[in-house]
């Protein structure tokens, strides 16, 4: 183990390419759960709401966050959802018992409403279909409703509901977490693989341009992981484009050093799924590459005890409303860096979720919306993490952790935008007490200069942003980086998220 007082080194070189950063890596997730929809993105009568009941203050924060794609409508919810309940005149939409989260679903917000919101928020939809209680026929019907131009029952029904032009939804998920015993319509890998294959076939017969995400394991802690992935891909390999990954991390034991190392687990998870995909590719003698959709990831644990006390069968109760600390933001930053490190294969990512429910954005009913601590690392990465992901070959001092062994103090990745001639370095200093000195060999890029060094840090790791103190912790610009003789030197404050933006002129 290297002492925390050592120096971190890295190399910034054009040849150390990981892969193209797909803008869809910076997606999010909206489920009919808690106040994500009702009181989150949709609140008729709110002072900021438009004629469709969509909160414009939330839309503004979503745009500022830089979200590119949003998965909807679930999540566990989707496995018992009848999408037909959420279309047509609102006064005729039925109320249902919603069994995944044991609430009343009013169906006042449905597919057409969501797609209006997507247009207003300038995001792409990632639509999830029900493969729990529904199946092949409904999979075909929903694609026909959304994407077929006209002249059939479902396409003409969409037109009569006000959407004359087809939505042309490109991205679809084939169910949600079907390996989970908690899932409505839980299936074995064989059962799900067969059903997903047949659903994929009819969906593509209606619209050959769509891209499909098949369910991977709901977490690598599942006893069937990664055999689930291998079996499911045996069935679906030639019919799908991506396989999903889900993971959440917590600090229930209040062990911050271990918590900050959790992204190492995420990295191993990604590597294992890639290896499984490539095993099936080799077994099938296929030329096709299956990429990854990490369509649920976040920190989640703060609200667990409070959620147990919520009586069932309410309408949009405050479920899963984690209030995030600064240390949570550091973990989210490490997870974003991990996604960038695998940009060659992880092409879609969804921070779960977007508003109120384990979310970067919080709202008060009838009141303001504000940014949680985890908002900022995501915003920085979505805004500046463009172009090519670069492997920095970081050599860092480390500390010992019982679960992960040696953990580097510095977690870092970089992106290179050739068009804008800009480089962004994202770095987390896991050292809770010491500033870390970082030195980079940058000779491969000519005439580099520092555009800015943004840091996000606070002496209290448990500090939160709230409605009364929405700016208790936020990023600031510092003069912590210098360039001289082909070397970049940076001082990273203890327990900090950092963005170092560089510009350059071509050789």
pLDDT at residue 4 tops 70: no
In a domain, 314, yes or no: yes
Least Cα distance to 123 among 80, 83, 180, 63 occurs for 63
pLDDT band at 506 (very low <50, low <70, confident <90, very high): low
Q: In whole angstroms, what is the distance from residue 138 CA to residue 144 CA? A: 10
Q: H-helix or E-strand containing 330? A: helix 326-341
Q: How many domains does the chain have?
A: 2
Q: What is the pLDDT of residues 109-124, one digit of tens each?
A: 999 999 999 999 999 9
Instruction: From the candidates 138, 177, 321, 411, give the one annotated as an active-site residue.
Output: 177
CB 335 within 8 A of CB 266: yes
CB-CB neighbours of 9 under 10 Å: 17
Instruction: From the candidates 43, 105, 229, 296, give the one annotated as an active-site residue.
Output: 296
Q: In whole angstroms, what is the distance from residue 297 CA to residue 65 CA? A: 16
**Cα 304–306–309 angle (5° rounding)?**
115
Q: What is the pLDDT of residues 36-94, one digit of tens each?
A: 999 999 999 999 999 999 999 999 999 999 999 999 999 999 999 999 999 999 999 99
pLDDT at residue 203 tops 90: yes
pLDDT at residue 226 tops 70: yes
Q: If you average pLDDT over residues 188-196, what whole number do you get?
A: 98
Which residue would you say has higher pLDDT here, 266 or 506? 266
- Which residue, 349, 364, 384, sits at the end of a domain? 384
Q: If you average pLDDT over residues 291-320, what whole number do you get?
A: 97
Tokens of 402: 């019982």
Instruction: Please give the full DSSP string across 97-120, using - where no structure is assigned.
Output: EETTTTEEE---S-HHHHHHHHHH
Report pTM: 0.96
Give every CB contact of residue 254 below 8 A, 6+ residues apart in sequence.
none
**Domain that includes residue 435, residue range:** 8-15+390-503
Claim to verify: residue 225 and residue 101 sit in the same structural domain? yes
CB 114 within 8 A of CB 30: yes
Q: In whole angstroms, what is the distance from residue 53 CA to residue 63 CA? A: 18
Claim to verify: residue 340 and residue 410 sit in the same structural domain? no
Q: CA end-to-end span of the chain, whole Å?
A: 39
- Which residue, 384, 400, 419, sits at the end of a domain? 384
Claim to verify: residue 124 and residue 265 sit in the same structural domain? yes
Claim to verify: residue 380 and residue 394 sit in the same structural domain? no
pLDDT at residue 5 tops 80: no
- Which residue, 352, 369, 384, sits at the end of a domain? 384
pLDDT at residue 6 tops 80: no
Least Cα distance to 12 among 334, 410, 346, 439 occurs for 439
Claim to verify: residue 396 and residue 321 sit in the same structural domain? no
Decide if 296 is catalytic: yes
């Amino acid at each position: 183990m290297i002492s925390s007082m050592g120096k971190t080194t890295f190399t910034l070189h054009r040849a150390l390419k990981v892969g193209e950063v797909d803008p869809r890596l910076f997606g999010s997730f909206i489920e009919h759960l808690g106040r994500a929809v009702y009181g989150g993105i949709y609140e008729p009568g709110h002072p900021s709401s438009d004629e469709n009941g969509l909160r414009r203050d939330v839309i503004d924060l979503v745009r500022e966050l830089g979200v590119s794609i949003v998965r909807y409508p679930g999540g566990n919810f989707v496995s018992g959802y009848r999408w037909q309940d959420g279309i047509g005149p609102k006064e005729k939409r039925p109320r249902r018992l919603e069994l995944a989260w044991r609430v009343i679903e009013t169906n006042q917000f449905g597919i057409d409403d969501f797609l209006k919101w997507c247009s207003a928020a300038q995001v792409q939809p990632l639509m999830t279909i029900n493969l729990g209680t529904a199946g092949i026929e409904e999979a075909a019907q929903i694609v026909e409703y959304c994407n077929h131009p006209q002249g059939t029952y479902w396409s003409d029904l969409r037109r009569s509901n006000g959407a004359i032009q087809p939505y042309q939804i490109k991205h679809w998920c084939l169910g949600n977490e079907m390996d989970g015993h908690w899932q409505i319509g839980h299936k074995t890998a064989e059962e799900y693989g067969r059903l997903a294959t047949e659903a994929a076939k009819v969906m593509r017969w209606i619209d050959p341009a769509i891209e499909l995400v098949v369910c991977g394991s709901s977490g690598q802690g599942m006893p069937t992981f990664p055999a689930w992935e291998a079996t499911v891909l045996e069935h679906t390999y030639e019919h799908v484009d991506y396989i999903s990954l889900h993971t959440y991390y917590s600090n229930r034991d209040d062990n911050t050093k271990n918590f900050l190392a959790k992204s190492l687990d995420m990295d191993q998870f990604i590597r294992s799924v890639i290896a499984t995909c490539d095993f099936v590719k080799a077994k099938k003698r296929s030329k096709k590459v299956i990429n990854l959709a990490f369509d649920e990831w976040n920190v989640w644990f703060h609200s667990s005890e409070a959620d147990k006390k919520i009586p069932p069968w309410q309408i949009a109760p405050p479920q899963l409303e984690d209030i995030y600390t600064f240390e949570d933001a550091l973990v989210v930053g490490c997870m974003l860096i991990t996604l960038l490190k695998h940009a060659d294969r992880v092409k879609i990512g969804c921070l779960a979720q977007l508003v109120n429910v384990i979310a970067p954005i919080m709202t008060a009913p009838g009141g303001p919306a504000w940014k949680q601590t985890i908002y900022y690392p995501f915003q920085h990465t979505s805004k500046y993490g463009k172009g090519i992901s670069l492997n920095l070959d970081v050599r860092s001092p480390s500390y010992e952790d019982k679960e992960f062994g040696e953990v580097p103090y510095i977690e870092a990745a970089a992106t290179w935008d050739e068009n804008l001639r800009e480089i962004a370095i994202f770095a987390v200093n896991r050292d809770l007490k010491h500033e870390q000195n970082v030195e980079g060999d940058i000779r491969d890029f000519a005439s580099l200069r520092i555009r800015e060094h943004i840091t996000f840090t606070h002496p209290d790791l448990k500090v939160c942003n709230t409605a009364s103190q929405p700016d208790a912790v936020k990023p600031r610009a510092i003069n912590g980086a210098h360039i001289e003789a082909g070397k970049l030197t940076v001082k990273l404050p203890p327990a900090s998220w950092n963005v170092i933006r560089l510009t350059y002129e071509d050789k």
